[in-house]
Amino acid sequence: MEALYAALRFFQTGGLFMYPIAFILAIGVAIVIERYAYLTVVGINNRRIWKRILPLVQDRKYEVAGELAAQSNTAMSKVLAYGLQRALSGAKGEEVQLAMEEGVLEFIPRLEKRTHYLATFANIATLLGLLGTIMGLIEAFSAVAGAGPAEKANLLSASISVAMNTTAFGLMVAIPLLLAHAFMQTKTGRVVDSLEMATVKLANLMSVDTKSPQGGT
């Protein structure tokens, strides 16, 4: 309980700039939760559909694989569907891979959506903290100017201590947001890498026999 009271006292004495920083923190946490859940689901669904499509391609059952990819709404299935459609139309390995790479480029913005906001919010939180401290120092020096000689030292030290709360809070918000931004970028990169790996592997498999898309029945 003492820690909670200390945190509340810290927040209350920080001034008005603590509230926009707290608002930024709330938005940042919401983005992290949403992006983490989205990327996790995308990764699971991609692996699931890849495990189903890969054996069909290895058996040269391209039509069946294409139908399966068309029925799914995952990023992996959409990307692979581009290549399978090109293969069924008689395209060769390089053309198939280029078609799938176009699909990957189409999905990258969806995977990276809102992640860049985390770095921006971290910078804003830091700047708001510094601005709050500067405004607090201005008020402190104004108050000291009208105080008695005996009170100036104590009043100035207390005012500076309170003014520093906004900078501290801004940094406490900015640092986790920057770490979350780096983590989300890494997680997004893994999903993109898995898509690119699948396109290369599928193109290599289909380049062996692109003239028999209905084989293996």
CA neighbor of 84 nearest in space, from 67, 107, 101, 102: 67
**According to the model, what pLDDT value does residue 34 have?**
95
Residue 6 lies in a domain: no
Q: How far apart are CA 53 and CA 67, in angstroms?
A: 10
* Calpha distance 39→189 (Å, rounded): 10
In a domain, 83, yes or no: yes
User: What pLDDT score was predicted for residue 66?
Assistant: 86
4 in any annotated domain? no
Tell me which of 179 and 79 has the higher pLDDT.
Answer: 179
Percent of the chain past pLDDT 90, that is, above it, reads 34
Residue that wins the pLDDT comparison between 158 and 138: 138
Number of domain units in the chain: 1
Which carries the bigger pLDDT value, residue 102 or residue 186?
A: 186
Model confidence at 71: pLDDT above 70: yes
Domain hosting residue 185, numbered range: 14-207
Q: Give dist(CA 152, CA 164) in Å, integer.
A: 18
Does pLDDT of 3 surpass 70? yes
What are the Cα distances from residue 212, in Å, to 23, 90, 202, 206, 216?
59, 9, 15, 9, 9
Flag the least confident range among 1-5, 56-60, 81-85: 1-5
pLDDT at 209: 57
Q: What integer pLDDT is reported at residue 150 of this predicted model?
A: 65
Q: Has residue 215 been placed in a domain? A: no
Strand spans (E) along the chain: none
In this prediction, residue 10 carries a pLDDT of 72
- Determine the average pLDDT of the residues in 32-36: 95
Residue 136 located in a structural domain: yes
**For the whole model, what pTM was predicted?**
0.81
Q: State the pLDDT at residue 212.
A: 47
With a pLDDT cut of 70, the percent of the chain lying above it is 89
Mean pLDDT of 178-183: 96
Half-sphere exposure of 212 (CA within 13 A, CB side): 9
In a domain? residue 77? yes
Say which residue the tokens 């309170």 belong to.
162
The answer to whether residue 214 is domain-embedded is: no
Rounded to whole angstroms, the Cα distance separating 178 from 79 reads: 31
- Evaluate whether residue 107 is within a structural domain: yes
Across the chain, mean pLDDT equals: 84
pLDDT for 125 beyond 70: yes
